[in-house]
Structure 1
């Protein structure tokens, strides 16, 4: 949590821009931080916090994090975990961790581990932006702790393509309509899978969600917490639910926002996500029409046709951007998709499309680059590669180019504008060269404490029904429904959602199941 080339699930756009929280670190007694040898606060473990699930994992569970200041009042450390949990005495990797200390240390109640989704988005960035992601009732009393899941960010990052190849991959037509484009699409399917295996070695087979969830329990122990308090968004809900299934007795207060449905197939996920983006696009266009003098046209259908026609035009003739890169159709697609994650970005999409209609692709290219973590000098993280490596290792389902046409009618019905893109995306994992060593799980989290699941009615990336289904699938799931637009529900302008979430995380007050906001 979001598409592999916008199709494979699930990048959260809650990775807000802006400054991180600058928090004063105050040393207190009893359950509050005590000084480590480096002078940076650490936490005294709660009873039983470091008990390992098996003796051979004890060295990992008993490790102490060495925190160092890393700017803006934040603290950073490295957590050591096994590359392969089936061989804990073998090779190890390091997980990057960032903590934003509670801004009211005297009221601190513990650590809140967070994950922003992707899979592939760096959790350390998410935590560093805690002041924007979370409201002050949370940041006042929790140390917000983010980690880059294995294979991502600064945690043994997988590598699959050169930056130059990744540029070509992102720019290619996600809806190939000629034999040449189909051949090119097939080329990148094979090249991506081969590249992950060749460039990442043994790591490529050990970046599953299950292994990342096991890492999260080692992190819980290293933080000194006997139970895990967790906030996961988008794909982070899959990670959190998997953790709860693996370690139900360690579940504290878990919130899963913008939920992924773990009970349906990859094909059905893609089909429903296509419908989700269509719903978001239609809401955007209808808003423009309702405002009057809409640059897209005089009706909803006019606007949808104009956007689809524009993508066809860029496919035929890429646009100038005023720089050394053209806006190609893949970039244009991402540039349109990105602002659909939040109603607040609709005005940016207005600007980007109007410029594009006038032959200037610069703004759409900037949005595409933001979506794919590309800066002026290259890619700023490996999220575009990690999303492939993790999703395809979790579930290598794929179809061939010859099988795509039979799938088109279902996808075009779900999304007349974007459906064909999602149908072609079903090929994505066809080139994977490695296999997971972790058996599939029927995630139920039996015996876990209440788990709060939040769904938004017009969420483009994680459709509302996914939250309904995940809450039902988890034995202790409790559903909060937000009526609104955009991806995820907490801190999106709905006091009902925010207050219920905070009452649960801070006071343990479990909301009414089915709470409608």
Structure 2
């Protein structure tokens, strides 16, 4: 484990200053071994760390009727690698909605430094609705499984009539095929499930590392169960605005793309880059906009893709997906280069329809159940028109009508207001340029948490910060907090 002096030296070297430390839940003697009610068995998936084991936790389907029907939430574990210094359990909260961390103890959990793997059992889970937990399926048409349907793009002329038709069709399929569980999948339900997981593990308190949507889950859990939390890391943070919730996250792509696209433009115009698309960064944006408009008018057939043609909106969706990480920049550049010559690369591989059905159902139901969405098409038309004018790269998608515009069920839970009430045990880590969870939204969570949190901002591009960028200052700050409970006593910025 890095010593305190060495950790401070790293921060000073990268930041140009020494970051004073304060104590938050300091390390102490190992607590007694927890008394767990779980029956651990070998996990069903292949290719996992042989130490990983799985169990199932029974939770109420409807917390308003806790004595009623129970559903299963499947969890996983790799125990502490040094039981003598074990502190507790570190829950890996997945993004999404629709993401799972069930395999993460074997995956990204093994990237954690030894000091953290010694201190914690690493815990993953498949949130309610997501297989192998009790699962849901909307039985959507194959075409409606395309990402561009869940995040809907307006027609080339900006009209949204077809988007409203799609929303009604998808909502009706979920009602018809989803069963009773689709009404009980929400962030509040997931937070309550997490506390049932904590109890089943026999832990008095739970540490967590939540990423993307998992930051909102972690914030809601910390608000509802503040004294059940130990050390909480929230990575790539969602705006917690309770009046908008996921509506605000969709709208945030406007800002996220504007923050991140210049990095792609610089990369895509670098001399010597085999995927170079322009001679200068200034040329890349107008080139992209012209190409998208051309493909709106003259799509290129793309056998094997979903949909099976490359139109302007598929190019825009590829751009959005590619800005999640600089490692994806080549895929966008190659698509641009091919499309300019009237061709397409091989169709991207996609998960099976069955897997997509399950993930899409959980994503849609969570988003629609968390907050009430407007029903009148006129409100979406106005938002799309403004968005297209102000943010042409995203062409109105972030203000458009998704399935929730036709969702028939009102939210069962009021959105949770995130406040500064509770223990000061939260560390936020955030990239400066993030297409999905932009810094401006992360600052809203930072402000809401007040003195409960300290924020580490990393000069990097992409979605996911901790252990994702190779930034020693950011990574060491988070690792040191998880291992020792010590945080910087003020917000810090980690340079390249």
Scaled to the shorter chain, the TM-score interval is 0.7 to 0.9
Which 5+ residue runs of structure 1 have no aligned equivalent?
Answer: 1-29, 33-42, 46-62
Aligned to 2:130: 152
Aligned to 1:443: 418
Distance 1:508 1:44 in 2: 20
Task: Report the secondary structure of 2:323's partner residue.
Answer: helix
Q: Is the aligned partner of 1:174 residue 2:147?
A: no
Distance 2:54 2:192 in 1: 20
Q: Is the aligned partner of 1:208 residue 2:198?
A: no
Deviation at 1:275, TM superposition (A): 1.4
Deviation at 1:427, TM superposition (A): 4.6
When the two structures are aligned, how many residues end up with a matched partner? 452
Aligned to 2:228: 250
Aligned to 2:171: 193
Q: Is the aligned partner of 1:432 residue 2:411?
A: no
Mapping of residues 358-507 of structure 1, within 5 Å: 358-363=341-346, 365-366=347-348, 374-375=350-351, 379=355, 382-398=358-374, 400-408=376-384, 410-412=386-388, 414-424=390-400, 426-444=401-419, 446-475=421-450, 476-491=452-467, 492-507=469-484
8 A contact 1:467–1:479 mirrored in 2: no
Deviation at 1:377, TM superposition (A): 6.2
Deviation at 1:394, TM superposition (A): 0.3
Deviation at 1:305, TM superposition (A): 2.4
Aligned to 1:284: 264
2:40 aligned to 67, 72, 90, which one? Answer: 67
Q: Deviations over 1:270-305 (max 9, x none)?
A: 433311122212220123224478743334443122
After the TM superposition, which of the residue ranges 169-178 and 116-125 deviates more from structure 2? 169-178
Deviation at 1:193, TM superposition (A): 1.7
Go from structure 1 to structure 2 and tell me whether the alpha carbon gap of 1:298 and 1:409 turns closer, same or farther (over 3 Å shift). Answer: farther
Distance 1:467 1:414 in 2: 22
8 A contact 2:239–2:248 mirrored in 1: no
Aligned to 2:3: none
8 A contact 2:384–2:397 mirrored in 1: no
8 A contact 2:96–2:363 mirrored in 1: yes
8 A contact 1:253–1:449 mirrored in 2: no
Go from structure 1 to structure 2 and tell me whether the alpha carbon gap of 1:208 and 1:445 turns closer, same or farther (over 3 Å shift). Answer: farther
**More contact order relative to length (CA 8 Å, sep ≥ 6):** 2
8 A contact 1:400–1:427 mirrored in 2: no
Which 5+ residue runs of structure 2 have no aligned equivalent?
Answer: 1-29
Mapping of residues 335-350 of structure 1, within 5 Å: 335-350=318-333
Q: Deviations over 1:40-91 (max 9, x none)?
A: xxx633xxxxxxxxxxxxxxxxx71111112532111111000111111101
Q: Is the aligned partner of 1:327 residue 2:328?
A: no
Q: Deviations over 1:401-438 (max 9, x none)?
A: 333342245424552211412122x4541111222322
Go from structure 1 to structure 2 and tell me whether the alpha carbon gap of 1:322 and 1:203 turns closer, same or farther (over 3 Å shift). Answer: closer
